[in-house]
Amino acid sequence: MAESQSPPKSVVIADDHELFREGLSTLLKRLGFRIDASVGDGLSALAAIREFLPGYAILDGSMPGLGGVAVIESVNAEKIAPAPKFLLLTMFNHGHLAADARAAGAGGIVSKDDTARELETALKSLTEPEADGFFLSRTFREEAEAYLSGELSTLTPREREIMDAVVRGATTKEIADLLGLSVRTVDHHRERLMRKIGAKNTADVVRFAARTGMRMD
């Protein structure tokens, strides 16, 4: 009996440039994707994701109505499930876009200045079952990583340790025991940390850690 072929990977494409969408569709079909919808604005992308529940969504970072990050945030807010894996495309190679995309839950970001081969690499990384990292394309990587590391560069090693513990859900007493410090000293470091990153509460600290890609091993 002949082996059955794997079902095609379903995807929604959203970009306000029709020629770009057509070229992307051709590449995706060659890689074994099924195009559920190809649309030109963020609201249409959100509607298509609701309707088709695709495995993947490739979104332009800047579109009429809703940009790519806003679409992802809307999917999260509506608790659409199963949610697709997201890849953001952009012509603006700014580090803060990578931070925003990562915080929203995208699986990666690719510059439109990159080659088709780089985009193909991003798509393959996204489709790996064990994929849990964040893909930065070659053109994007240097500036984006400089931005992300720059946000953390103002924190002392001790403040980073405390942020890591806070994100894990540790109490002040538990952090003090873990690091061999007094509760008062932990409170001091925690206050300095929150002031530096503009956090008002623990939820803000967790969001900052997610946005800057801190790894909690």
- Supply 158's token pair: 């001790």
Phi and psi for 90 in degrees, rounded to 5?
-155, 150
Cis status of the peptide bond prior to 129, with omega within 30 of 0: no
Tens-place pLDDT, residues 137-164: 887 776 656 555 666 677 888 888 898 8
Q: Is the pLDDT of residue 4 over 50?
A: no
Residue-level pLDDT at 21? 95
Domains of the chain: 9-142 (3.40.50.2300), 154-211 (1.10.10.10)
pLDDT at site 85 = 94
User: Given pLDDT bands bounded at 50, 70 and 90, which one contains residue 6?
Assistant: low
Looking at per-residue pLDDT, the higher value among 98 and 74 belongs to 74
pLDDT given at position 216: 43
The structure's pTM equals 0.65
pLDDT digits (tens, 9 = 90+) for 89-124: 988 766 677 778 888 889 999 988 888 888 889 988
What's the pLDDT tens digit per position in 172-217? 999 999 889 999 999 999 999 998 888 889 888 888 877 666 544 4
What is the side-by-side order of every strand in the sheet holding 33-39?
Answer: 33-39, 9-14, 56-60, 85-90, 108-111, 135-136
Mean pLDDT of 72-86: 94
pLDDT at residue 88 in the model: 95
Question: In 10 A of CB 94, how many CB atoms?
Answer: 14
Phi-psi region at 136: left, alpha or beta (left = phi > 0; alpha = psi -120 to 50)? beta
pLDDT, residue 1, reads 38
